[in-house]
Chain A
Amino acid sequence: MTAPRPALETATMVRAGEESAVDVLEHHLAVIEAGEESIHAFNLVLADSARASARAVDETVAAGGDPGLLAGVPVALKDNLCTRGVPTTCSSRILDGWRPPYDATVVTRLAAAGAVVIGKTNMDEFAMGSSTETSAFGVTRNPHDHSRVPGGSSGGSAASVAAGFAPLALGSDTGGSIRQPAALCGVVGMKPTYGTVSRYGLVAFASSLDQIGPFATSVADAALLFDVIGGHDPLDSTSLHRPTPRVLSVLDEGVDGMTVGVLTEFLEGAAPDVTARVRQAAEALAAAGARIEEVSVPEVALGLSAYYLIAPGEASSNLARYDGVRYGLRVDAEDTVAMNTATRSEGFGDEVKRRIMLGTYVLSAGYMDAYYNQALRVRTRIIEGFDAAYARCDVLLGPTAPTTAFAIGAKVDDPLTMYLSDVCTIPSNLAGHPAISVPFGPGDDGLPIGVQLLGPNLSEGTLFQVAAVVEAAAPELEAPRITAGVTS
């Protein structure tokens, strides 16, 4: 087995008894063995439990049963997804070694579909970052160039799929944390409509923005994974009752008659090679029968500022529970307040502390209305701006990230510059809208570029349809070579 086989194909073969789940797993474990040391995509590789799961899948098939839509497919999970009895650290020292006593809903659904969880992937600490450099356990390297970041915060998941460690991965996206690393690593990454995938068991960063979503090597595989994990969950009050779109079936329907709007504000800050790829994707869509328009949504320019008020505000509250009392790290002290303080000061990294303090500040007495509530009004404006655009267009098109992957260490000392990486992805989180990043060839430096498709709420079907056409027209991107310790 040399080129990565689509997950859809693997599952079909395993279910039919034509391929053994154990063999599939062993292949991927071997790839991990060869390449993980130089990439560090994982906080934890779950070889033993994965083998047990794979065996169970094969036994089900042998007994005439159907293990499910993802039978035997290895899936890597971002380390902020609770896995019962298995360490879930959010790449933070404050949760180092913590084993949740329960599974996230998406993990339960993966198991029910016969997927094989192969490991927990590295991330920016508590999902706060755009490069995976804030991880307490070391950076993940971009498989296409080990001196570069994989993006973040789901850098480990993106890298694991790009490197061939697993055909599928799950990440979380609060301000772009699936889509941006997908673009930087040359894989497909998608953020669903807020509420279509249960957040139960996702360690919260910013509750009104967080969504779990798929990474895959193809649009079809991403669609398959989305279909499995999506759907109402009574354990999540923000989970939608309306039927989650089932997308795998609509992939081949094409774009004839659709209107695609190229979002001018997103192109403004993008590097020339990125802009060129977006234009190329637009031409491909036009050739396939879509009408292309230039669209302006001026409100999105306020997205970055609004996001950096809302997200830290919610995060400061969500992260208060890490106090050394019930689980995780405790640094002892004479009294409880001192213990809380010592624990949190030692257990959290700098970026997390920054955002907690920023969030505490914008929520505090006297500033709430000027900052937090004001940001919520900006959110209304952004939604209105998008609504006006979607009155004319089916989907919007733009870059995912302004540049290709930057060098490790290039932006760590300048938080504000780091935050600017998310300018194209944040508006969708604020609006709750779905969006997908599709690899579209290399940049001038040979590193991957992704183009982004955006749609209104519950338009996943349309998004995937358009994404499939974009993917079919995508220029070749050289796959990373995975051999121990060698930069491709």
Chain B
Amino acid sequence: MSWQMVIGLEVHCELRTATKLFCACPNMFGDEPNTNVCPNCLGLPGSLPVLNQQAVELAMAIGTALHCEIRPSTFHRKNYFYPDQAKDYQISQYDEPLNVNGYLDLPDGFRVGIERAHMEEDTGKTSHAGTSGRIHGADYSLVDYNRSGVPLVEIVSAPDMRTADQARAYVTELRAILVASGASDGKMEEGSMRVDANVSVRRSVDDPFGTRCEIKNLNSVRSLGRAIEFEAERQITLIESGEQVVQQTRHWDEGAGRTQALRSKEDAYDYRYFLEPDLVPLVPDPEWIRAVGDTLGMMPAERRARLIALLEETGTVTDAQRDQVTTVVDLGLDDLVVEAVAGGVGSGLALARTANEAATDAEAARSLDPKTYVELLMLEASGSLSATQAKAVLAELFAAGGGDPAAIARDKGFEAMSEDSLVATVAQAVVDHPDEWDRYREGDDKLAGFFTGLVMKATRGQANGKAVAAELRRLRG
């Protein structure tokens, strides 16, 4: 008998709008507390909400990217008291959400259903005064309403995931999609993307789902994986010892490596959802929906497929290359690879140089003029620059925010080694290491690397590796 996990994820995504969902206060992280507030997001008497058009567009973009059906929708009030909830109710969507019935394919092809992706407003932020900074044991709390009213989309997956790895892959891919759609900056560390996990276990796939627990406070993909695995173990242990899993919300304690039940004042909240009387229904017309779909850029899955196709044109794609493809797409650098290949650079080199070097300063790489990048790679591809030299020029381009690769190479004194100079250096290395040369000549190809390393050392990286390899082969005959 092997236990099975059942996992569903709820992800809250802050939208990259200029203003909040229902008022024109700036949507800005990190400003001085309570400076981005108005009667609406403070819940002052007499205030009224007005819906942000751009927030709707981005919510629709998310729905499109997740293959959802975009429907007429309404807003409801979710009523509960809490200091960070300025009106003591949240305006959300209840039984008529904007996006329903979509899906997300993990990179390995596994499909996770998306039940809904709806709009709602964020709360303010509380900080707790006490020794731990955590809510328990705090003497009092302080509330900042800058975040109150920021637009959120809550994405609820179907309980389709069965392993912690799938959950991690889901969050990683979802984040990439949210960034690619323009809806989010994906900064989990700033809280612009928050994940809650619903976990249950069952003895076999034929059994119905077990009682689930919700886990909150997952601040990274790594925490997500650890928490799910801990929670599944905890539930299995409970059931195997004859006890029952109690449906509850649990908090992940990263330091202790465990989930803990939360003490909440009310056992079950009665949110008394009712239609928000201060707002009217949202009915996007087909033209609007189509326009959103048309302007949506390529999603990560398509981008990865595009690079794989390029690689497949010139040979089999290795696992290492697949990883490089993922890295490059994650960092938004895949357009650079495509431009380079279009400019005549080999796909393998373009991919490698982007995944390894350009990735070290992805932001600089994204702002670099693609033509400059292609020029540099062409210098390397043609043999004018060695790999080492090309990397140095790239670093320079990043630091300066652009430039002329050929000019930089000249300034640094990078000249291609003359043919004679290269031949002489190789010959010297051969003479200095006769035993290794014999073995290489007899077919031990691995020693090509040994000799290349010697030549590189002797020329302080100036030699072109491919040219050295070609010379060695020529000498061998």
Whether the Cβ atoms of B46 and A235 lie closer than 8 Å is no
Contacts of B278 in A (CB 8 A): 204, 207, 237-238
Contacts of B43 in A (CB 8 A): 321, 326
- The tally of residues in A whose CB lies under 8 Å from a CB in B reads 43
How close is A246's CB to chain B, nearest CB, in angstroms?
Answer: 24
Whether the Cβ atoms of B86 and A321 lie closer than 8 Å is yes
Write the B265-286 contact mask toward A (1 if CB under 8 angstroms, else 0): 1000010101001111000000
B49 CB–A CB distance under 8 Å: yes
Contact A317/B39 with A82-B46, A235-B50, A238-B280 known, Cβ cut-off 8 Å? no
Contact A200/B48 with A317-B272, A320-B88 known, Cβ cut-off 8 Å? yes
Write the B245-279 contact mask toward A (1 if CB under 8 angstroms, else 0): 00000000000000000000100001010100111
Whether the Cβ atoms of B270 and A365 lie closer than 8 Å is yes
How close is A247's CB to chain B, nearest CB, in angstroms?
Answer: 25
A:26-78 near B, CB below 8 Å: none
A290–B278 CA distance with the chains assembled, in angstroms: 39
A82–B44 CA distance with the chains assembled, in angstroms: 10
A243 CB–B CB distance under 8 Å: no
Measured CB to CB, the nearest residue on chain A to B23 is A235
> CB < 8 Å: which of B44, B270, B277 contacts A327?
B44
Whether the Cβ atoms of B39 and A325 lie closer than 8 Å is no
A368–B273 CA distance with the chains assembled, in angstroms: 9
A:94-152 near B, CB below 8 Å: 95, 98, 100-102, 104
How close is B147's CB to chain A, nearest CB, in angstroms?
Answer: 15
Q: Which of A204, A313, A321, A365 has the most CB of B within 10 A?
A: A321
How close is A289's CB to chain B, nearest CB, in angstroms?
Answer: 40
A372 CB–B CB distance under 8 Å: yes
A364–B46 CA distance with the chains assembled, in angstroms: 25
- Besides the known contacts A90-B45, A204-B45, 19 further A-B residue pairs in the complex with CB atoms under 8 A apart: A80-B46, A81-B46, A200-B46, A206-B277, A235-B50, A237-B48, A237-B278, A238-B279, A238-B280, A314-B274, A317-B79, A317-B274, A320-B88, A320-B89, A326-B43, A326-B86, A363-B79, A363-B274, A372-B274
B296 CB–A CB distance under 8 Å: no
Contacts of A81 in B (CB 8 A): 46
Measured CB to CB, the nearest residue on chain A to B145 is A326
Contact A235/B89 with A323-B81, A363-B274 known, Cβ cut-off 8 Å? no
Write the A353-365 contact mask toward B (1 if CB under 8 angstroms, else 0): 0000000100111
A:266-323 near B, CB below 8 Å: 313-314, 317, 320-321, 323
Measured CB to CB, the nearest residue on chain B to A361 is B272
How close is B466's CB to chain A, nearest CB, in angstroms?
Answer: 66
A12 CB–B CB distance under 8 Å: no
> CB < 8 Å: which of B39, B45, B141, B270 contacts A364?
B270
A208 CB–B CB distance under 8 Å: yes
Contact A237/B274 with A321-B86, A336-B83 known, Cβ cut-off 8 Å? no
Whether the Cβ atoms of A102 and B274 lie closer than 8 Å is no
Whether the Cβ atoms of A325 and B274 lie closer than 8 Å is no
For chains A and B in complex, what number of residue pairs have CB atoms within 8 angstroms?
95
B42 CB–A CB distance under 8 Å: yes
A323–B43 CA distance with the chains assembled, in angstroms: 11
A80–B280 CA distance with the chains assembled, in angstroms: 24
Contacts of A372 in B (CB 8 A): 274
B:64-109 near A, CB below 8 Å: 77, 79, 81, 83, 86-89
A325–B83 CA distance with the chains assembled, in angstroms: 7
Whether the Cβ atoms of B87 and A236 lie closer than 8 Å is no
B143 CB–A CB distance under 8 Å: yes
A372–B277 CA distance with the chains assembled, in angstroms: 13
How close is B445's CB to chain A, nearest CB, in angstroms?
Answer: 73
A202 CB–B CB distance under 8 Å: yes
A437 CB–B CB distance under 8 Å: no
Whether the Cβ atoms of B87 and A320 lie closer than 8 Å is yes
Whether the Cβ atoms of B46 and A234 lie closer than 8 Å is no
> CB < 8 Å: which of A204, A320, A326, A340 contacts B46?
A204
Whether the Cβ atoms of B46 and A104 lie closer than 8 Å is yes
A:437-464 near B, CB below 8 Å: none
Contact A320/B50 with A238-B280, A326-B43, A372-B274 known, Cβ cut-off 8 Å? no
> CB < 8 Å: which of B44, B265, B279 contacts A337?
B265
Measured CB to CB, the nearest residue on chain B to A103 is B46
A249–B367 CA distance with the chains assembled, in angstroms: 63
How close is A92's CB to chain B, nearest CB, in angstroms?
Answer: 10
How close is B146's CB to chain A, nearest CB, in angstroms?
Answer: 14
Q: Which of B49, B51, B79, B274 has the most CB of A within 10 A?
A: B274
Sorting the interface of chain B by its residue count into under 10, 10 to 19, 20 to 34 or 35 or more gives: 20 to 34
Measured CB to CB, the nearest residue on chain B to A239 is B48
A201 CB–B CB distance under 8 Å: yes
Whether the Cβ atoms of A100 and B88 lie closer than 8 Å is no
Measured CB to CB, the nearest residue on chain A to B42 is A326
Whether the Cβ atoms of A234 and B88 lie closer than 8 Å is no
A313–B277 CA distance with the chains assembled, in angstroms: 11
A335–B111 CA distance with the chains assembled, in angstroms: 46
A203 CB–B CB distance under 8 Å: yes
How close is A338's CB to chain B, nearest CB, in angstroms?
Answer: 10
A251–B280 CA distance with the chains assembled, in angstroms: 34
Contacts of B49 in A (CB 8 A): 237
How close is B192's CB to chain A, nearest CB, in angstroms?
Answer: 25
A234–B51 CA distance with the chains assembled, in angstroms: 11
A236–B277 CA distance with the chains assembled, in angstroms: 11
Contacts of B77 in A (CB 8 A): 317
A321–B90 CA distance with the chains assembled, in angstroms: 11
Contacts of A404 in B (CB 8 A): none
Contacts of A102 in B (CB 8 A): 39, 44
Q: Which of B51, B86, B88 has the most CB of A within 10 A?
A: B88
Contacts of A368 in B (CB 8 A): 272, 274
Q: Which of B46, B47, B272 has the most CB of A within 10 A?
A: B46
Whether the Cβ atoms of B87 and A234 lie closer than 8 Å is no
Whether the Cβ atoms of A207 and B277 lie closer than 8 Å is yes
Whether the Cβ atoms of A313 and B274 lie closer than 8 Å is yes
Write the A220-251 contact mask toward B (1 if CB under 8 angstroms, else 0): 00000000000000111110000000000000
Q: Which of A236, A363, A372 has the most CB of B within 10 A?
A: A363
Whether the Cβ atoms of B48 and A203 lie closer than 8 Å is no
Contact A321/B45 with A326-B86, A337-B81, A363-B272 known, Cβ cut-off 8 Å? yes
Write the A323-362 contact mask toward B (1 if CB under 8 angstroms, else 0): 1011100000000110010000000000000000000100
Contacts of A323 in B (CB 8 A): 81, 83, 88
Contact A199/B48 with A336-B83, A337-B81, A340-B81 known, Cβ cut-off 8 Å? yes
Measured CB to CB, the nearest residue on chain A to B22 is A237
Whether the Cβ atoms of B50 and A234 lie closer than 8 Å is yes
Contacts of B81 in A (CB 8 A): 320, 323, 337, 340
A80–B44 CA distance with the chains assembled, in angstroms: 12
A95–B42 CA distance with the chains assembled, in angstroms: 15
Contacts of B46 in A (CB 8 A): 80-82, 88, 100, 104, 199-204
Whether the Cβ atoms of A237 and B44 lie closer than 8 Å is no
Contacts of A90 in B (CB 8 A): 45
A82–B38 CA distance with the chains assembled, in angstroms: 14
Q: Which of A325, A327, A340, A368 has the most CB of B within 10 A?
A: A325
A314–B274 CA distance with the chains assembled, in angstroms: 9
Whether the Cβ atoms of B39 and A101 lie closer than 8 Å is yes
How close is A170's CB to chain B, nearest CB, in angstroms?
Answer: 13
How close is A362's CB to chain B, nearest CB, in angstroms?
Answer: 9
How close is B9's CB to chain A, nearest CB, in angstroms?
Answer: 26
Contacts of A364 in B (CB 8 A): 270, 272
Contact A237/B51 with A95-B45, A317-B79, A321-B43 known, Cβ cut-off 8 Å? yes
Measured CB to CB, the nearest residue on chain A to B268 is A365
Whether the Cβ atoms of B45 and A100 lie closer than 8 Å is yes
Contacts of B274 in A (CB 8 A): 313-314, 317, 363, 368, 372
A421–B43 CA distance with the chains assembled, in angstroms: 32
A234–B49 CA distance with the chains assembled, in angstroms: 10
How close is A355's CB to chain B, nearest CB, in angstroms?
Answer: 15
How close is B142's CB to chain A, nearest CB, in angstroms?
Answer: 11
Whether the Cβ atoms of A88 and B50 lie closer than 8 Å is no
